[in-house]
C-alpha cells in the first residue's frame, strides 16, 4: 500500500519538506538524511519503513499516519517546546545542517537517550510508577487517543501488562473495543496477540466474540509475522491462515544436499528453543535490513555522487545482546543469496516442526516488539546472550559458553554448507565474501580477447549506423548495436564473477516478477532496483509505481542520442576492464587511479541525461550508477598504504567489494543503453 504525502508534512527531526520514511515505533515521518541515522541506531531504537516503496499492512500505515498528524513528535521533543530551551541554546537541526555530527547527535539524544521526553516525578519505588502507567494504558486503549497511549508507552508503561484485578492485558481491552489502531500500536511495543486472560481467552478471541472480524484476522497476522515475513521475502507469498499458517519454499536442488548442508540443518534442529527463537528474530531483522537497503539505494539522489548518507552494511549493535549474539547478527550480512535462503527455509521448516510437534498454539511471535519473541515454545534453558555474574555457578557458565559456541558454529556451517550463489548478485549482497578468490587466468584472458573483438565490431557498426538513412534499416542496426553492447556489458559482468560467483545473467533476465514467480526458479533476489522485478520489467514497473507514466507512448525527447550513450558506456567498460585486470593481478595500488577514471567516465555519462528525467527507470538507473561509483571510490581508497600501527587491510574482502561495485556500475550502464535504445526506436 502506498500513500501521497501532503505538502505540509515535514521531517520530525530537521523539518525538511516531503519526508519519505517513517519511524513506526516513534510515530514520526523522517527525511532521507535523518533516516540514515535512524537505521544506524538499530530496530530496537527505531523501526523504519519507506512510505511509498515498502509494503504496508493498511492498519499499520493508518496508525503511523494518525500518530504523525496528531503531534506524536511532541512526545519525543517535549522539553524543546519550553521557551527556556531556546534561550539556553538547545535547538533541533535545520535541513541545511550536516548529517554528521549535527543531525546524528540530535537524533541519538532524542530517541536513544530520550533526552527531551517528559520526565515523571521521582519516587522511591520505580515499580509502582510503572504499574500506575500500565494501568492507565490498560484503560486508555479502549479509546481512540493513540497519542495518549504512545505517551504512556514512552514513559515506561508495559504493553503486556497483566491487570491483577481485571485479569486481562491492554490488547484484550483494545480487541474487545474494536480499536484496531490501538492494537497495532500495542503490538509494535511488544503486546502478545496470543496472550491468555485469566480464563485462557486470547485477544483474538475477544475480537471475534465482539464481532470485530477484521481486527481478529489482523491479530492472527501479527502473531505469525515472523514466518510470514520470511516466506514472503523468498517467494513473494504469505499464507492466508485459514488453510494453514506456513509456506515452506523449496530450493530447486533441495534434494541434493551436501554433507555440510545436512550438518548445518542438524545443528539448527539441535538448538534449544530459546536459541532457535533468537536466531529466528535475528534473521528477521536481517531480512528487514536487506529490504530497506534495497529501497534505500534506489531512492537516493543520483546527482550526488558523494554523500553523507550511507547504507547500513550489517545489523547495528544492540547493547542488550551479548557480544557473541551481536557478532552472529552481523555475520548474517555476509551470507550470499543462496546461503541466506537456505537458512531461512530451514528456520521455517523447523518452526513448523517444533510448533506442530508440541501442539502449541503460538508458533511465531510479535516481531516489532522490543522484548524477545515468543515462538510459542517453552524452554527453561538459559538465554545464550545472558551476561554471567560473579555468582553464576560453574555449570551455568559452562552452559552459557556452550551456547555461544553453538550459535557461532551454526552460522559458520551455513556459510560453508551452501553452494556458490546461482542467483543474480544484488546490492544487498555487496558485502558478501567467500573464503578464497579463485581466479582463472586463462579464462580471464579469453574473456578479454572476446571483449576486444566485440569493441572493434561495435566501433565498426557505429560508423555504419551514422551513415544509414533508411528507417527500417537504421532500426535493424540499432537493434544489433543494442545486442552487442549487452554482450559487452555481459562480459564485464562475467569478469566480475570469475572465481567468485557463477553468474547466470541470461537466466536472470528471463524470469518474471519476484513477487509472482514460483520459488523453484530460485531467482527472486534481484531487488536492487525494483524489489524483485527483472531487468526488462523495471522500466515499466518503476514508472507505474512512481506514477511517472513516462515509459509508454511517445519517445522521451529529453533522452540523449543512443550513439552518445554507447560511446560513454564503452569508456566506462574499458575503465572497468582495467580495474578488473588489476584485481586479478593483485595490483591493489592501482585501485584508486582506476576508480577515479571510472568515476570520471560515470560523471560524463550521467551528464548526458537531464537532472530530472521523465522516466522513472532512467532515474533509478542513474541513481544506481552514481551510488555504485561513489561506493567504488570509497572501497578503493581502503587499498591505499596505511599508516604504521593501523589495522591490516583484508585485501580478499576488499577485492570482493570492489568487484561488486564494478558489477553494479556495469549493470546500470547496460540498463541506460537498453532504455535509451528502446525509447529512441518508438
Choice between 217 and 498, residue whose per-residue pLDDT is larger: 217
Q: 623 and 660: one domain?
A: yes
Q: Which among 112, 147, 179 is the end of a domain?
A: 112
- List the one residue out of 314, 294, 307, 337 whose CA is nearest residue 53: 294
Q: Which one has a higher pLDDT value, 180 or 538?
A: 180
Residue 308 lies in a domain: yes
**Which of 238-252, 338-352, 458-472, 563-577 bottoms out in mean pLDDT, i.e. has the lowest?**
458-472
331 in any annotated domain: yes
- Please work out, in degrees rounded to the nearest 5, the angle formed at the alpha carbon of residue 675 by the alpha carbons of 575 and 52: 105
Query: How does residue 403 score in pLDDT terms, banded at 50, 70 and 90?
Result: low
User: DSSP class of residue 101?
Assistant: I
Where among 321, 355, 389 does a domain terminate? 355
Q: State the average pLDDT over residues 102-116.
A: 94
Neighbour order of strands in the sheet with 21-23: 28-30, 21-23, 48-50
Write out the three cell numbers for 540: 515499466
Q: Same domain for 282 and 346?
A: yes
Give residue 407's pLDDT.
60
Residues 279 and 204 in one domain: no
pLDDT tens, position by position, 41-76: 999 999 999 999 999 999 999 999 999 999 999 999
More confident: 609 or 168: 168
Residue 242, pLDDT > 80, answer yes
Question: How many other C-beta atoms are found inside a 10 Å radius of the C-beta of residue 15?
Answer: 13
Alpha helices in 497-561 (DSSP H): 505-510, 535-546
Give the range among 138-147, 185-194, 636-645 with minimum mean pLDDT: 636-645
CA distance to 35, 51, 241, 303, 455, per residue, from 99 (Å): 10, 21, 44, 18, 43
Domain membership flag for residue 525: no
Confidence band, pLDDT 50/70/90 cuts, at residue 554 = low
Q: 25: domain CATH number?
A: 1.10.220.150
Q: How many CB atoms lie within 10 A of CB 8?
A: 8
Identify the residue with better confidence: 652 or 177: 177
Same domain, 175 and 205: yes
Give me the mean pLDDT over the 275-295 stretch: 94
Helix 441-467 × helix 562-584 angle, to 10°: 170
How many CB atoms neighbour CB 144 within 10 A? 13
107 and 131 inside one domain = no
What is the number of domains present in the chain?
4
Residues 270 and 231 both lie in one domain:
no
pLDDT score for 262:
80
Number of Cβ atoms within 10 Å of the Cβ of 217: 16
| Same domain (yes/no): 569, 657 | yes
- Rounded CA-CA distance 216/176 in Å is 10
Q: Which domain holds residue 77?
A: 21-112
Q: How much of the chain, in percent, has pLDDT values that exceed 70? A: 65
Give a yes or no: residue 248 inside a domain. no
Q: Is residue 144 a part of any domain in this protein? A: yes
CA within 13 Å, CB half, 387: 6
Q: Residues 675, 569: one domain? A: yes
| 463 or 618, higher pLDDT | 618
Do 165 and 267 have their domain in common? no
Pair (135, 106) in one structural domain: no
Nearest-5° Cα angle at 449, 444 to 454: 125
Q: Tell me, what DSSP letter sits at residue 141? A: T
Residue 301: is its pLDDT beyond 60?
Answer: yes
Instruction: Retrieve residue 113's grid coordinates.
Output: 537517550
* pLDDT at res. 112: 95
Burial class from Cβ neighbours inside 10 Å (0-12, 13-18, 19+) for residue 139 reads: middle
Instruction: Note whether residue 5 is domain-resident.
Output: no
pLDDT value for 680: 72
- State how far the Cα of 74 lies from the Cα of 78, in Å rounded to an integer: 5
Domain end position, chosen among 78, 112, 146 = 112
Per-residue confidence (pLDDT) for residue 402, from 0 to 100? 59
Q: Return the pLDDT at 128.
A: 59
* Residue 102 shares a structural domain with residue 201: no
Query: Does residue 502 register a pLDDT over 50?
Result: no
pLDDT of 551 above 80: no
CATH of the domain at 210: 1.25.40.20
Q: Is the pLDDT higher at 640 or at 202? A: 202
What is the residue-averaged pLDDT of the chain?
75
Q: Does pLDDT of 286 surpass 70? A: yes
CB 374 within 8 A of CB 281: no
In a domain, 120, yes or no: no
User: Do 209 and 278 reside in the same domain of the chain?
Assistant: no
- Give the global pTM: 0.58
Whole-angstrom CA distances from 524 to 312, 418, 520 are 22, 17, 10
**Quick one: pLDDT at residue 321?**
93
pLDDT band at 364 (very low <50, low <70, confident <90, very high): very low
Q: Is residue 428 part of a domain?
A: no
237 has a pLDDT exceeding 80: yes
Provide the pLDDT confidence category of residue 578 given band limits of 50, 70 and 90: confident
Q: If you average pLDDT over residues 131-140, what whole number do you get? A: 95
Amino acid at each position: 500500500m502506498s500513500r501521497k504525502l501532503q505538502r505540509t508534512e515535514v521531517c520530525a527531526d530537521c523539518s525538511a519538506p516531503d519526508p519519505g520514511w517513517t519511524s513506526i515505533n516513534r510515530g514520526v515521518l523522517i527525511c532521507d538524511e535523518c533516516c540514515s541515522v535512524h537505521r544506524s541506531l538499530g530496530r530496537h531504537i527505531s523501526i523504519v519503513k519507506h512510505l511509498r516503496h515498502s509494503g504496508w499492512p493498511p492498519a499499520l500505515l493508518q496508525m503511523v499516519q494518525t500518530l504523525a498528524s496528531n503531534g506524536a513528535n511532541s512526545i519525543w521533543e517535549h522539553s524543546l517546546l519550553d521557551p527556556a530551551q531556546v534561550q539556553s541554546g538547545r535547538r533541533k537541526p535545520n535541513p541545511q545542517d550536516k548529517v554528521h555530527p549535527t543531525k546524528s547527535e540530535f537524533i541519538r539524544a532524542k530517541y536513544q537517550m530520550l533526552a527531551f521526553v517528559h520526565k515523571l516525578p521521582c519516587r522511591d519505588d520505580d515499580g509502582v510508577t510503572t504499574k500506575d502507567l500500565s494501568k492507565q494504558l490498560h484503560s486508555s486503549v479502549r479509546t481512540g487517543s493513540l497519542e495518549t497511549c504512545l505517551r504512556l508507552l514512552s514513559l515506561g508503561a508495559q504493553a503486556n501488562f497483566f491487570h491483577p484485578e481485571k485479569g486481562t492485558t491492554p490488547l484484550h481491552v483494545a480487541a474487545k473495543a474494536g480499536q484496531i489502531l490501538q492494537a497495532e500500536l500495542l503490538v509494535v511495543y511488544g503486546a502478545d496477540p496470543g496472550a491468555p486472560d485469566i480464563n485462557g481467552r486470547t485477544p483474538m478471541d475477544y475480537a471475534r466474540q465482539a464481532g470485530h472480524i477484521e481486527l481478529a484476522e489482523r491479530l492472527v497476522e501479527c502473531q505469525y509475522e515472523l514466518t510470514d515475513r520470511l516466506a514472503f521475502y523468498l517467494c513473494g507469498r504469505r499464507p492466508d491462515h485459514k488453510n494453514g499458517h506456513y509456506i515452506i519454499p523449496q530450493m530447486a536442488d533441495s534434494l541434493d544436499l551436501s554433507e555440510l548442508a545436512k550438518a548445518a540443518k542438524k545443528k539448527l534442529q539441535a538448538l534449544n528453543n530459546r536459541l532457535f527463537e533468537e536466531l529466528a528474530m535475528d534473521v528477521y531483522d536481517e531480512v528487514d535490513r536487506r529490504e530497506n537497503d534495497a529501497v534505500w539505494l534506489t531512492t537516493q539522489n543520483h546527482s550526488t555522487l558523494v554523500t553523507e548518507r550511507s547504507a547500513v552494511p550489517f545489523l547495528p549493535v544492540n547493547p542488550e545482546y551479548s557480544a557473541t549474539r551481536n557478532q552472529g547478527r552481523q555475520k548474517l550480512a555476509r551470507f550470499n543469496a543462496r546461503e541466506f535462503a537456505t537458512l531461512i527455509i530451514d528456520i521455517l521448516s523447523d518452526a513448523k516442526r517444533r510448533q506442530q510437534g508440541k501442539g502449541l498454539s503460538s508458533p511465531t511471535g510479535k516481531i516489532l516488539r522490543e522484548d524477545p519473541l515468543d515462538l510459542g515454545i517453552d524452554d527453561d534453558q538459559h538465554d545464550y546472550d545472558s551476561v554471567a555474574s560473579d555468582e553464576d555457578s560453574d555449570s551455568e557458565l559452562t552452559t552459557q559458553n556452550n551456547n555461544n559456541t553453538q550459535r557461532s558454529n551454526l552460522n559458520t556451517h551455513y556459510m560453508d554448507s551452501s553452494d556458490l550463489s546461482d542467483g543474480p548478485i544484488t546490492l544487498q549482497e555487496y558485502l558478501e565474501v567467500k573464503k578464497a578468490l579463485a581466479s582463472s587466468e586463462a579464462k580471464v584472458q579469453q574473456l578479454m580477447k572476446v571483449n576486444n573483438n566485440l569493441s572493434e565490431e561495435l566501433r565498426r557498426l557505429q560508423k555504419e549506423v551514422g551513415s544509414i538513412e533508411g528507417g527500417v534499416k537504421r532500426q535493424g542496426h540499432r537493434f544489433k548495436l543494442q545486442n552487442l553492447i549487452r554482450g559487452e556489458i555481459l562480459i564485464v559482468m562475467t569478469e566480475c564473477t570469475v572465481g567468485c560467483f557463477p553468474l547466470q545473467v541470461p537466466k536472470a533476465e528471463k524470469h518474471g516478477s519476484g513477487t509472482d514467480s514460483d520459488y523453484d526458479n530460485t531467482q527472486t533476489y534481484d531487488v536492487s532496483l525494483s524489489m524483485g522485478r527483472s531487468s526488462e520489467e523495471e522500466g515499466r514497473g518503476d514508472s507505474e509505481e512512481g506514477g511517472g507514466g513516462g515509459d509508454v507512448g511517445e519517445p522521451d525527447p529529453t533522452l540523449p542520442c543512443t550513439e552518445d550513450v554507447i560511446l560513454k558506456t564503452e569508456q566506462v567498460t574499458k575503465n572497468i576492464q582495467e580495474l578488473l585486470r588489476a584485481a586479478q593481478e593483485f595490483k591493489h595500488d592501482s585501485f584508486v587511479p582506476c576508480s577515479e577514471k571510472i568515476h570520471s567516465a560515470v560523471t560524463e555519462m550521467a551528464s548526458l541525461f537531464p537532472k530530472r528525467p521523465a522516466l522513472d527507470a532512467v532515474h533509478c538507473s542513474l541513481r544506481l550508477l552514481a551510488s555504485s561509483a561513489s561506493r567504488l571510490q570509497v572501497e578503493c581508497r581502503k587499498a591505499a598504504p596505511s599508516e604504521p600501527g593501523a589495522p591490516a587491510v583484508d585485501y580478499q574482502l576488499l577485492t570482493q567489494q570492489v568487484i561488486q561495485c564494478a558489477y553494479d556500475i556495469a549493470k546500470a550502464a547496460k540498463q541506460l543503453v537498453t532504455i535509451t535504445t528502446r525509447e529512441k526506436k518508438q
